[in-house]
Amino acid sequence: MADLKRQIIEQLNLKDVKPEDIGDDQPLFVEGLGLDSIDALELIVLLQQEYKIKLANAEEGQSVFRSVRTMAQYITEHQPKTI
């Protein structure tokens, strides 16, 4: 999850945020880290680029990007098997 936090910070250019500042279960949007709909689209590309996971539509992002933990779970469940 630490890797994922680093990737999120880099993708969204969250200059003043350190990975340890983001709690595993902290909400990423609005009241939590304060992300918005553009960030959700950026995260969709992050999943595609880093984990080869393609979300069907932007609405699906709402549940996937609830927190770093929900994102990590989604990645584990959906990552293409390389074996």
Partner 1 sequence: MYIQAAAGISPQRSFEAILTQPQNYNGNRLSCQEPDYAQLIDPRMIRRMSRIIKMGVAAAKECLREAGWEVPDAIITGTAYGCLADTELFLAKMIENKEELLTPTAFIQSTHNTVGAQIALLLKCHNYNNTFVHRGFSFESALLDAITLIKEEEISTALVGGVDEITPVSHAILSRFGLYRKEHTDSAALLNTPGKGTMAGEGALFFALSASPSGNDCAKLDDIYTFYKPADRGAVKEQILSFLQRNRLAVKDIDLVITGENGDVAGDAVYTALKTGVWGNAPAISFKQLCGEYPTATGFALWLAVHILHTGKVPGLSPATKPRRVLIYNHYQHIHHSIYLLTAC
Partner 2 sequence: MLIKPVFIAGAGVISAIGNNVQQHLHALESGTAGMGNMTYLGSAHKHRLPVAEVKMSNEELAGLTGLPAHISRTALLSSVAAKEALLQSGMDDIQPWRTGFISANTVGGMDKTENFFVDFLKDNRKGRLRNVVHHECGAATEITANHLGIKNYVSTISTACSSSANAIFFGARLIRQDILDVVVAGGADALTKFTLNGFNTLMILDQQYCQPFDENRRGLNLGEGAGYIVMVSEKVASSLKKAPVCTLSGYCNANDAYHQTASSPDGTGSFLAMKGAMKKSGLQPGDIDYINLHGTGTQNNDIAEGTAIKLLFKDRFPKMSSTKSFTGHTLGASGGIEAVFSVLSIQHGMVYPNLRFETQMKELPFAPETVFSKGQPIRHVLSNSFGFGGNCSSLIFSKM
Read off φ and ψ for residue 79, nearest 5 degrees.
-65, 135
Cα 39 to Cα 16: distance, rounded to the nearest angstrom = 16
14 interacts with partner 1 by CB under 8 A? yes
- Between 73 and 79, CB nearer to partner 1: 79
In the window 39-68, what residues touch partner 1 (CB under 8 A)?
41-42, 45, 48-49
Helices (H) and strands (E) in the chain, counts: 4, 0
Tokens 């950026």 — which residue? 42
Kindly indicate which of the ranges 4-12, 16-24, 35-43, 46-54 contains the residues binding partner 2, using the contact rule CB under 8 A.
35-43
The residue ranges that bind partner 2 (CB under 8 A) are: 36-38, 41, 44-45, 57-58
The residue ranges that bind partner 1 (CB under 8 A) are: 11-16, 34, 38, 41-42, 45, 48-49
